[in-house]
Amino acid sequence: MRRATTPAIVIVVGVLLLVDFLVVNDSLSQLADLAVNAVILIGGGAAIAAVAALAVRRAGDLWRRRGDPVGAVLVLVGIGAMLIAGLRPGSAGATDPAVRWLISALLVPIAATLFGLLFFTTIAAARRSAAGRGRQALVLVAAAAVMLILLLPFGGEAGDRMSAAASWALDVPIAAVFRGILLGVAILVAVVAARTMLGVGSADE
């Protein structure tokens, strides 16, 4: 009974949102909005539970002296700083200046650093791919090299033409490939989710 309840709720909510997308009805729209708000609340509760579990785990690592103590302290200090900045008396929550400062002064530089490291990992991956001399790997490396050259900060008319060519490549062929990948992944996920919720296995085919 418990196994069938969750798939049934997911199917009912999914059908409700699909019908609300196809049919214009105020009552149906209100019901769909209620379902969406409930999902948002559940997601927020899950996020809070995940943060609490992470804090408890890192505190346990410090208490038992296992793992990386420096990393555990940094995680706990970061969680505490964000909670104090967002929940202290008189705070405006996510729009509070202290929260914005923590995000702009700490989180954004850290994320930028991680993205900066992607350049070196991409170069290393391209070198290994080219060393294998596979046809697909060579095409991938060549396309990446062309895009890298087009995105170089040249000035003048040549720079404008290179920037326009890079924008066209990003907006037309690359965006088309990404849309195709996303559509394929979405269809595959929907099929797998439907098979799982309905209990359809390979033996039933």
Name every residue whose Cβ is closer than 8 Å to that of residue 61 and which is 6 or more positions away in sequence.
67, 68, 69, 72
**88 DSSP assignment:** S
- pTM of the predicted structure, to 2 decimals: 0.56
How far apart, in whole angstroms, are the C-alpha atoms of residue 44 and residue 36? Answer: 12
Break the chain into its structural domains and give their ranges. 1-87
Distances (CA, A) of 139 to 13, 22, 126, 142, 144: 44, 42, 11, 5, 9
Distances (CA, A) of 57 to 71, 77, 151, 164: 12, 14, 44, 50
| Burial class of residue 58, CB neighbours in 10 A (0-12, 13-18, 19+) | buried
pLDDT in tens, 43-80: 888 888 988 898 899 888 888 888 788 888 888 888 88
| Burial class of residue 35, CB neighbours in 10 A (0-12, 13-18, 19+) | middle
pLDDT in tens, 90-123: 888 778 888 888 888 888 888 888 888 877 887 7
Residue range 148-163: average pLDDT? 81
Q: What is the mean pLDDT of the chain?
A: 81
pLDDT in tens, 135-153: 777 787 788 778 878 877 7
